[in-house]
Amino acid sequence: SIVYLNGDYVRLGDAKVSVLDRGFIFGDGIYDVVPAYNGKPFRMDGHLARLERSLAAIDIKVDLKRADWEALVLDLLKRSGLGDCMVYIQVTRGVAKRDHGFPANTPATIFCMVSPFARPGAAAREQGLSAVGIPDVRWLRCEIKSVSLLGNVLAKQHAVDAGVDEVLQFRDGYLSEGSSCNIWMVKNGELLAPPRSNLILEGIRYGLMEELADADGIAFAARPISQQEVDEADELMLSSATKELLPITRYNGKPVGSGKPGPVYARLRAGYDKAIE
């Protein structure tokens, strides 16, 4: 497949970056993942706005303007010929002698690829996923979509080792997010999510979920959610570009609510399906 690297279109196997790239040496970079359906990006504006926020947050400057990013994403999608797929964009602080401080006059490394995307199947949608709770040991700038993902990687491996699909992370006893997804809870018909803050990555689906809840008359509140509330949730669900919106029906080895995907999930899921049509 054809990927974009620093202005060139090359085959994936021919795309090479120096071992001195600060992404490799320090994890000094950011990324984003834009889903596409039928070759068309979904919520691209939101993803590119977040990409620009991430770049600004760590002070990486690039020549690409919003229209250039859009053209790049659309061009790569076209070249890929793929239908349901995801566009991965990564920008690092470039190649420089190893030194923690920012290098002067070093161009950023810009990489972009399109990969096939296996949409969650009927089993996940109809039976739901399993999850366990763990402490959130990540840093305090989780709002930046950084490629320094060690905390997220270890969190996901915890799920793999525990034989479950996902983890719910708790910071000081309060829900933050999954290993690479946002978490939603329902209690007495009300949809709840941890508030936007430095402790979570604000998913592009975060705003979408607010819109879907609003359009369907589902009450929504963003507020801190304690471990005990999660234990007693009527419904739990997760959202991300690649997982879309999925119910979590087993938590810490016990059924969540009825143990089946709940009614609020069903309504939001219908809205999600409509949005991506």
Which residues carry out catalysis?
A: 145
Output the smallest distance, CB 54 to ligand PDD, in A. Answer: 11
Q: Shortest gap between Cβ of 33 and ligand PDD (angstroms)?
A: 4
Residue 188 Cβ, how far from ligand PDD at the closest point, in Å? 25
Q: Whole-number minimum distance, CB 97 to ligand PDD, in Å?
A: 30
Which residue has the CB atom at the shortest distance from ligand PDD?
203
Our CB check for ligand PDD shows the closer of 151 and 263 to be 151
Cα 130 from Cα 217, distance rounded (Å): 28
Q: Cβ(194)–Cβ(183) under 8 Å?
A: yes
Q: Spell out the residues 6+ positions from residue 269 whose beta carbon is closer than 8 angstroms to its own.
A: 125, 245, 261
Task: Kindly tell me which of 186 and 201 has the beta carbon lying closer to ligand PDD.
Answer: 201
Write out the residues near ligand PDD by the rule CB under 6 A. 33, 152, 177, 180-182, 201, 203-205, 239-242
